[in-house]
Amino acid sequence: MCRWMAYSGDPILVEDLLLRPKYSLIDQSLHSRMGATTTNGDGFGIGWYGDRQEPAVFKAIEPAWNDRNLRELAGQVSTPLLFAHIRASTGTAVQRSNCHPFRYGRWLWMHNGAIADFHRVKRDLILAIDPLLYPDIEGSTDSETLFFLALTFGLMTDPPGAVERAVGLVEDVGRRHGIDQPIQMTVATSDGSSIWAFRYSSAGMSRSLFYSTDVVTLRQQHPEVPVLRTLSDEARLVVSEPLGDLEGAWNEVPESSWGVVKAGEDELHPFRPALVG
Amino acid sequence: MCRWMAYSGDPILVEDLLLRPKYSLIDQSLHSRMGATTTNGDGFGIGWYGDRQEPAVFKAIEPAWNDRNLRELAGQVSTPLLFAHIRASTGTAVQRSNCHPFRYGRWLWMHNGAIADFHRVKRDLILAIDPLLYPDIEGSTDSETLFFLALTFGLMTDPPGAVERAVGLVEDVGRRHGIDQPIQMTVATSDGSSIWAFRYSSAGMSRSLFYSTDVVTLRQQHPEVPVLRTLSDEARLVVSEPLGDLEGAWNEVPESSWGVVKAGEDELHPFRPALVG
Amino acid sequence: MCRWMAYSGDPILVEDLLLRPKYSLIDQSLHSRMGATTTNGDGFGIGWYGDRQEPAVFKAIEPAWNDRNLRELAGQVSTPLLFAHIRASTGTAVQRSNCHPFRYGRWLWMHNGAIADFHRVKRDLILAIDPLLYPDIEGSTDSETLFFLALTFGLMTDPPGAVERAVGLVEDVGRRHGIDQPIQMTVATSDGSSIWAFRYSSAGMSRSLFYSTDVVTLRQQHPEVPVLRTLSDEARLVVSEPLGDLEGAWNEVPESSWGVVKAGEDELHPFRPALVG
Amino acid sequence: MCRWMAYSGDPILVEDLLLRPKYSLIDQSLHSRMGATTTNGDGFGIGWYGDRQEPAVFKAIEPAWNDRNLRELAGQVSTPLLFAHIRASTGTAVQRSNCHPFRYGRWLWMHNGAIADFHRVKRDLILAIDPLLYPDIEGSTDSETLFFLALTFGLMTDPPGAVERAVGLVEDVGRRHGIDQPIQMTVATSDGSSIWAFRYSSAGMSRSLFYSTDVVTLRQQHPEVPVLRTLSDEARLVVSEPLGDLEGAWNEVPESSWGVVKAGEDELHPFRPALVG
């Protein structure tokens, strides 16, 4: 029940993406409290790549709409690759260490969805994490567990394969615990150069996932939207739900797919959980 | 855009009023995040009378639904007179000193509504507060300012008259600043024995205010609702919005009225802002 | 580097124990920020037994001296058995789920000290926890891990033996990781009737632990101290460091010992870590 | 009892000034919790000038040493002009709006010290603030009140004169309330180009204030300190207390003085409170 967005393109001021009123790209999401659907008031986070190899993260447990420091930061930080996430807890504690995005070395990870009956399968999943990675787990969420499983299964060398193996394990463990539909997810992960996005659920009824129409087209269709003029032609957004009401702006990622946004052609492939060993 | 409830009756465990799932009396309100309307996620507070003359208050800036300490407290504290408030800020900072209920000596105060264009009239209103009371202002809200104006105009000896004079001043100052509809409000205040409730707006279109049908009748109509069996016959609830979906449970307080819940007969009277001096 | 106190006796208002200025019993501790030693500003918590079987806990990440809600609560809650803890983190995150006391069913647990090189041994220790208990771990501290190990080894039926086995395991695992002095601790735990307190460290140089001189004697020696008049003759305090500067008030628990405060005679015994299996 | 530092010079990464362990310039201050003196655990803030005319501020109520977001930010933000402040409250609430530095337009302001008996004189001082500025007051501290008085008396055109008039008023109002020593302060303020620093107290016994020895000299004396190599020759630090233990690094600002750090020669002058009208 979380929402997230990932941006890749020419460096852009964070507030242009997150906070500009009306026609901003995720303003509506931050203000979903006004909307007809679930509020995402259980913390938020942003992660971005700056001058260093490792990304920075800013995360807090307040509703994003109240956080004055987020507004300050968003007016100062420019970045070519931004992750933003607003959380609606599915049960685990509201604390900074449970806020997305999660970070390991150069990698960021954020998730919308849930591992079903997580408290029943958590121990088995934790045991499958590489003991060398285990000490770096900071929080208590299913989302971070999934990240560390993906790291265990090779995220840093083969992101799609690693996530397929992590999800394969989650489904296997879940079913051994009698859980019919062990996982649902949209996930984004990045190494600072590319963004991989995943849409999958055991039930074949995943949460939504969208990527943006190319900026050139969009700019022609919507000359009235200022932020589009600040986006470079190569800019891409991947989002858990369409942001704004720009007609023609969003393409839905198909069920059980993964894609990658990178220099050169983007790609879109089927996602198939894999069982290791 | 806040919501509040006030309870008077035999001592009742706070969680029976606030937190019991389904058919609880304010559970729906706390979970308004699930609902179709505005979320009240900008802090909350409860105030209650215990063994001391002065009431206690517990207030925090997190969404009420996340506060583990509130749940702990609610399972321990019994009280014959409870105020509970969830806040949706109309602009002032989300900080504990801006959470309701406000307290002065034996008195509690909570408010739903707003003084229009508060930043423009704030200085004039603050100047009208008794200089001896002024140092006790802790926050920056219109609601606390209204409380201190009411204290200045005699809340402790004549609550209805004092609120009428405070509102009269707010309307006078507002109109001198060219503000058409200077105030809208529902307010509850208590000295630990009685609860006074007010419904008024300059435009004659006030936010809603309801009081509960007598418990004996309610219990007969709804034998299936456990919490009703724990309420004493004298129990009364005053609420900014109907809680639960109990048919026949709620009576609307008319526009421009005040009422008092106390030992003996309750009362309901017209509310008429008064201009002093 | 934390500090804690445990109280058992006639019901007493929490503020009489925690907050009364001068001659209060833990005021100095809360105000250690003024003192010459380490500040305990990384969160705090209290746990107490009320009308229910399960104790309540109130925990927060602010420095205790700033928490207005703690002051409110302390003026309302009376209890015959109180745990209070102020935290100085040894590395794990400052979040509510890492604050003491920890609770499991009727049991409370708090700890001063550390498991050495916890990040290196954590996984092995977590694996030794009963899989049925594992899902109830909420935080990431060594202290909570030790609690769950003690629960695994029978805390609810044989508290001293269970703690000896838990510590035995911690020492065994630590030494297998090449850690010379795997643990240092003072611990208090309670089921609501008795309080067990432990002082132990692998190096034989444990942090301090004190219990109070009997109240009758103390009252005669210090007629000038009001709080002593409110304590019942049976009242006992166990503290990590002497509170106040009452001469003759405190007896040091010897190195490698455990004691129990209960109805009838208190007891004091040697503590000997035990290796299971 | 607060502490602060102001930096001016070539752009420097905030963490190089604030967080680098050992020989960092304010690390010791942030870690004063380990020290023999008062802890500054009641919130903190930084303000810095970036690409915009208006400075940004990042402020929070946690102890600075716990704030993970501060560490993230400090690793990303470079600035030629930084204010940093850690707070030990003298009575007003611990809330973000009471954290320093305060900002108005291009101006930053931070303060160590107190207006004596502030609750008694607050109303008179607030009344003296320009009604057009009044609505922008966000918190409840003496420090922010002093800032708004200085703004009222011309801070933006004549900083030294404005502060002399503000302090003159505070002393006049204080003495009319029978307060012998109405103010003590060290203050720093900036418009993004220059830094003005003030040391004054009614009693002639002000808190300390230091400015740094020129970097060229310092670098020669301490070739072993890496951060000195990253500072430009023009870099200046003004601090409430000497940071680090670099011999020869700090020059004390004399009692009742103000100075300005700016392009060209720095200046140092006597400070003389002035009574307006």
Q: What is the pLDDT of residue D262?
A: 86
Does residue C216 belong to the interface with chain A, where contact is any CB pair within 8 Å? no
**pLDDT for position C35:** 34
Calculate what percentage of chain B has a pLDDT beyond 70.
Answer: 88
Q: What's the mean pLDDT in A8-19? A: 87
**Which tens digit of pLDDT belongs to each residue from B232-266?**
888 898 988 777 667 778 889 999 999 999 877 88
Interface contact A93-C96, CB threshold 8 A: yes
Given pLDDT bands bounded at 50, 70 and 90, which one contains residue C18?
A: confident
pLDDT of residue D248: 77
| A246/D contact by beta carbon, under 8 A | no
Contacting subunits of B (3+ beta carbon pairs below 8 A) = A, C, D
User: For residue A263, is pLDDT > 90?
Assistant: no
Please answer yes or no on whether B60 and C77 come within 8 Å at the CB atom: no
Stretch among B166-175, B225-234, B262-271, C194-203 having the lowest mean pLDDT: B225-234
Q: What average pLDDT does chain C have?
A: 87
Name the residue type at position C199: R
D14, D16, D73: best to mutate for the A interface, most A CBs within 10 A: D73
Work out the minimum CA distance from D127 to partner chain C, whole angstroms: 29
Partner residue facing D73 (CB), from A51, A58, A75: A58
Give the gap in angstroms from C-alpha C50 to the nearest C-alpha of chain B: 7
Q: How confident is the model at residue B93 (pLDDT cuts 50, 70, 90)?
A: confident
With vertex at residue B209, the alpha carbon angle to CA B203 and CA B211, rounded to the nearest 5 degrees, is 150
ipTM: 0.87
Of the pLDDT bands very low, low, confident and very high (cuts 50, 70, 90), residue B62 is confident
User: Rounded to the nearest 5 degrees, what angle is found at the Cα of D205, between the Cα atoms of D203 and D207?
Assistant: 125
Q: Please name the residue of chain A whose CA is at the shortest distance from the CA of residue C61.
A: A95
Is D97 close to B93, i.e. CB distance below 8 A?
A: yes
Are D3 and D40 a contacting pair, CB within 8 Å? Answer: yes
- Among the listed residues C1, C2, C21, C222, the single catalytic one is C2
- Quick one: pLDDT at residue D245? 66
Residue from the list A97, A119, A135 with its beta carbon closest to the beta carbon of C93? A97
| Residue matched to tokens 């001189």 | C213
- What pLDDT score was predicted for residue C244? 66
pLDDT at position D223, please? Answer: 80
Q: Is the pLDDT of residue A25 over 60?
A: no
Q: Assign B81 to helix, strand or coil.
A: strand
Task: Please say whether the beta carbons of C111 and C209 come within 8 A.
Answer: no
Q: Which residues of chain D have pLDDT under 70?
A: 1, 20-41, 65, 89-90, 243-246, 277
Q: Does A41 touch chain B (CB under 8 A)?
A: yes
Given a cut of 60, is residue C203 above it in pLDDT? yes
DSSP structural state of residue D91 = S
Res B30: pLDDT? 46
Nearest Cα of chain C lies from the Cα of A119 at a distance, in angstroms, of: 5
For residue B124, give the amino acid letter. Answer: D
CB contact under 8 A, A134 and C120: no
User: Is the predicted pLDDT of residue C29 greater than 60, yes or no?
Assistant: no
Asked if B116 and B69 count as a contact pair (C-beta separation under 8 A), the reply is no
pLDDT in tens, B166-216: 999 999 999 999 999 999 999 999 999 999 999 999 999 888 899 988 888
Beta strands in chain C (DSSP E): 3-13, 44-48, 56-60, 78-86, 102-104, 107-115, 183-190, 195-201, 210-212, 236-239, 250-252, 257-261, 267-270
Which pLDDT score is estimated for C7?
A: 93
Decide which of A36 and C29 is more confident: C29
D267 interface with B at CB cutoff 8 Å: no
Rounded distance between C-alpha atoms, residue D253 and residue D242, angstroms: 12
Tokens 């996005």 locate to A197
Of A119-123, C96-100, D60-64, which gets the smallest average pLDDT? D60-64
User: For residue B216, what pLDDT is reported?
Assistant: 84
Average pLDDT, chain A: 87
* B134 touching D (Cβ < 8 Å): yes
- Give me the sheet containing C183-190, strands edge to edge: C102-104, C107-115, C183-190, C195-201, C257-261, C267-270
**CA distance linking residue B53 with residue B71, whole number of Å:** 24
Q: Quick check: C66 contacting D, CB < 8 Å?
A: yes
Q: What pLDDT is recorded for position D40?
A: 62
- Summarised one tens digit per residue, pLDDT across range A162-210 is 999 999 999 999 999 999 999 999 999 999 999 999 999 999 988 889 8
Tell me: the pLDDT tens digits for D128-165? Answer: 999 999 999 999 999 999 999 999 999 999 999 999 99
Among the partner-chain residues B36, B38, B94, the one whose CB lies closest to the CB of A33 is B38
| CA atoms in the 13 A half-sphere facing the CB of B256 | 10
Average pLDDT over residues C179-184: 96
Position D37 scores a pLDDT of: 40
Q: What is the average pLDDT score of chain B?
A: 87
pLDDT in tens, A236-253: 989 887 776 667 788 899
Residue B38: what pLDDT?
47
- Looking at beta carbons, which residues of chain B come within 8 Å of D95? 93, 95-97
B99 given a catalytic annotation: no
Q: How far apart are CA B151 and CA B162, in angstroms?
A: 7
Cα separation, B125 vs B123, in Å, equals: 5
Q: How far apart are CA D236 and CA D251, in angstroms?
A: 12
Tally of CB atoms within 10 A around C252: 12
Q: Is the pLDDT of residue A109 over 70?
A: yes
Q: Which residue has the higher pLDDT, C65 or D28?
A: C65
How do residues C40-56 score in pLDDT, each as one tens digit? 667 889 999 998 999 99
- Residues of A within 8 A of C119 (CB-CB) are 135
Note the pLDDT of residue C84.
92
Touching partners of C (3+ C-beta pairs < 8 Å) = A, B, D
CA distances from B258 to A189, B48, C223 (A): 57, 22, 54
pLDDT given at position A216:
84
**Beta-sheet strands, E only, within chain D:** 3-13, 44-48, 56-60, 78-86, 102-104, 107-115, 183-190, 195-201, 210-212, 236-239, 250-252, 257-261, 267-270
Radius of gyration of chain C (CA): 18
CB C116 within 8 Å of CB C48: no
Give Cα separations from A75 to A9, A18, C256 (angstroms).
Answer: 18, 10, 57
Structure tokens given for D137: 């007051």
According to the model, what pLDDT value does residue A39 have? 55
pLDDT of residue D1: 52
D125 within 8 A of D137, measured Cβ to Cβ: no
Plot region of D23 (φ>0 → left; ψ -120 to 50 → alpha; else → beta): left
**Is the minimum CB–CB distance between C75 and chain B shorter than 8 Å?**
yes
Chain C residues near residue A120 by CB distance under 8 angstroms:
135
Q: What is the pLDDT of residues C102-124, one digit of tens each?
A: 999 999 999 999 999 999 999 99
User: What band does A32 get if pLDDT is binned at 50, 70 and 90?
Assistant: very low
CB contact under 8 A, A72 and D56: yes
Residue type, B163: V
Tokens of D59: 């402020």
